[in-house]
A and B are shown apart, each in its own frame.
Chain A
Amino acid sequence: MLGKLSWDAIPFHDPIPLITSLVVILAVLGIGIWVWRKGYWPALYHGYITSTDHKKIGIMYIVLALLMLVRGFADAIMMRLQQSLAIGASQGYLPPEHYNQIFSAHGTIMIFFVAMPFVIGFMNFVVPLQLGVRDVAFPTMNNVSFWLTASGALLINLSLFIGEFARTGWLAYPPLSELEFSPGVGVDYYLVALQISGVGTVLTAVNFVTTILKTRAPGMSYLRMPVFCWTSLAANLIILAAFPVLTVTLALLMLDRYMGFHFFTNDGGGNSMLYMNLIWVWGHPEVYILVLPAFGIYSEVAATFSGKPLFGYRSMVFATMVICIVSLMVWLHHFFTMGAGANINAIFGIASMIIGIPTGVKIYNWLFTMYGGRVRFTVPMYYLIGFMLTFVGGGLTGVLLAIPPVDFVVHNSLFLVAHFHHVIIGGVVFALMAGYTYWFPKAFGFTLDERLGKMIFWCWFIGFHLAFMPLYVLGLWGGTRRMQHISDPSWAPWLNVALLGAVIIGVGIVLTVVQLLYSIKTREQRLDVTGDPWDGRTLEWLTLSPPPHYNFAVLPDVHGEEAYWIRKQTAIKQDALIDEPDYQPIEMPIDTPTGVICAFFASLCGFAVIWHIWWLAILGLVGAFAVFVWYAWQDEHEHIIPVEEVRANARERRRIRMEHLHSLSQST
């Protein structure tokens, strides 16, 4: 009846996961009761959970990412603590089977449920605004995508309380991940959670490529799009090309595990190196799915806070698209040691180094954007500069690793661990924090506290370097990754420095929470009345903060690069806004619970598959199909916002803008 599920699945004898789970369950219940008692439930349900508004969905993605960041970081600090304690005679506090689950969960969560939702959250929030349109191409599907991602995150976290997580590392290499060597449900949790969230990600890509290529404001030709839109386009094209491969790879492993197929097994002619190839055909492009939008965020920040247009806009676009293509041709550098031969290794090594060229172009573009500009050293700008200093180092160790003979020496070592944290924290996380600070006022109508923001930056910057520079050293000394116990006591000082770095990053994460609460409490002091708190250059700053559901009363006419900047300068020069347009009623998508219900059935089905409860799996599938047909049967997917409401809102915005304009003209 319940498949493999029994009371043994609950970790009664294991205090760490048991207490953590209980605390999380109590916290969720507590928040739920608080929301209900305060009467926020309808607002939450209609305003967010069922919303088809791209801005609300973007915010939900980022909330999910921040929550999962806490989980992923908890794993990280546990690993660092274990490695600092388990030296020489001591065995530390984590037994191997638990430690292995922690490093697997850390990688999986940080990539799939922190970095991805964070990046997709920004795309959701920013891209339609920057394109000057009212929503994405498929608003309901957007909501479904989010909830499928959330469903995956739910299953991963459920593994803490019911059963176990994979002990195989974040990519679940076979043959270790085969049934023979991983008989538990850990790998199944991993596979099912990633399949469900993967479907959500592919749907997101379909949505955003269509949005960017087919729905832009009048006059917004390709070479007038902000760089963040370009990098989002590139990232979503990569998702379309790479994520189906991940789906296949994980599906094949599932067939091996569930039905006794022989794709990657040791016997039956299986070929585990096939898995390495397939998973990295997805895995390497994945890096660029994350870092390209990050580059886009830096580009917006650089131009805005340097007070001048982005240097070399066209070369930036070109570099982005070159990276988009070459990113799909370098996967083999993750396993030069496979033995493919010198020629193949050389080709992939060179291709990997070639990616350094367009990336270098970008670095110079940001530098030259700052050069001669009137640079304002705000928090996002701190992250930009910190990123450039950090990322160049990480890029260089990457080029080093792209040399096959070097790679043979440091393959699977702590040197590699240091390298990819170097580029992902220095490249992606810094950008996410910059973007969080930069677009926060657009989302909520007030800015984040600047002083705390700078403290957070320094925590990340210093903490990162302390945490990972020692790993380069240990890696060169021969330290392999994922060690539960360290036998050489002379490594202790380096590991302790790394632990200190992790603690400092932890302080930064705590301060992020403090900053958020403090900024909400003191928001009256930092209200963004005008909708343009940073003197921005792209269209999202044209509308008010937070923007109305439909973003723009009338779609803006675009007359050049930096659509909003041109419009703003013209207005300042003429000391007048453009003539009041003829307002029309607006058709907007209605809210729908389709996404939540779909995700409910997906979670149910996923859980059933993990535990081999087949009747429940079938029930879940039938349920999901029924919801789909039910939704398709609906006739009304849109509602009309009456022209009076549009006009009233637009006039209020124009009044605010006029006041702002007068204050600007008086100051100059």
Chain B
Amino acid sequence: MSTEVATIGLTHGASEDTGLGHRGPESKSIVVPYGFWLFVLSDMVLFSALFATYATLTNATDGGPTSNQLFDRNLVAIETLALLISSFTCGLAMIAAKRKNMAWTQIWLLVTGLLGAVFLFIELYEFATMVGEGAGPQRSAFLSAFFTLVGCHGAHVTAGLLWIGTMMAQLWAKGFREHIMRRLLCLSVFWHALDIIWVAIFTIVYLIGTLP
């Protein structure tokens, strides 16, 4: 498709992007990530409701174990490290993609995914241990809230892994096309957002929860 046609299309203005849309519709390279940012925003709202729930129920232990008795700071430290490094490698993948370097893009995406998998594995191990100790989500409202908040983040990471896999396959099959690049950008926004939410979980759930 020629560029001449592309500039007058559905969401394409006759002028260069201003970001404000005053000079006509913005190009897809602005519109698509913007829409995705809004989605991430709504996801943040979703998590904020879960945080509020957790904060409300954090003392509702119903005579069961409290956060101090359950959480293992060392395990969480490794988990956190894995996720934070995966954000970094995700950034490296984006740089490689910008340089249209297929091998390194795939490698860094793979590393990102593997680190995400390590994170998930540790989380599942933590969950399994807790359930084994009789501290499952059915034990008390506090534990319901904990498993839901952290589990929801974990579900997002799982979705992210599926997405990374799909993107790697797409990238392999189709190369660095414009719409593939836009999707990569959205993927990285998503992945970093999960990181930000994890930082909040780490602080509010694990750090505050293990204060003496």
Contact = CB atoms under 8 A, between A and B. Distances in A.
A271 B60 contact: yes
B15 interface: yes
A281 B13 contact: no
Interface string A208-223: 0110011111111100
A585 B7 CA distance: 11
A210 B31 contact: yes
B166 A584 contact: no
Interface in B28-46: 30-31, 34-35, 38-39, 41-43, 45-46
A577 to B, nearest CB: 20
Interface in A500-523: none
Contact of B148 (A255, A267, A274): A255
A520 B41 CA distance: 45
Contact of B56 (A241, A274, A588): A274
A254 to B, nearest CB: 11
A43 interface: no
Contact of A215 (B25, B46, B61, B142): B25
A259 interface: yes
Contacts, number: 161
A214 B25 contact: yes
Q: Which one of B12, B49, B183 has the greatest number of beta carbons of chain A within 10 Å?
A: B49
A10 interface: no
Interface string A247-286: 1110110011001111101011111001000100100000
Contacts of A62: none
A406 interface: no
- Range of interface residues on B (Cβ < 8 Å): 35 or more
Contacts of B23: 218-219
A632 B165 CA distance: 13
A610 interface: no
A206 B31 contact: no
A268 B141 contact: yes
B14 interface: yes
Nearest to B62: A269
A218 B10 contact: no
Contact of A629 (B26, B39, B166, B174): B166
Nearest to A274: B56
Interface stretch (A130-138, A337-345, A479-487, A540-548): A130-138
Nearest to B138: A260
A243 B145 CA distance: 20
A599 B45 CA distance: 25
Given A241-B45, A587-B6, A638-B10, A269 B140 contact: yes
Interface of B: 5-6, 8-15, 21-26, 30-31, 34-35, 38-39, 41-43, 45-46, 49-50, 52-53, 56-57, 60-62, 137-142, 144-145, 147-148, 162, 166, 170, 173-174, 183
Interface of A: 133-135, 137-139, 202, 205-207, 209-210, 213-221, 240-245, 247-249, 251-252, 255-256, 259-263, 265, 267-271, 274, 278, 281, 555, 584-589, 625, 629, 632-633, 635, 638, 640
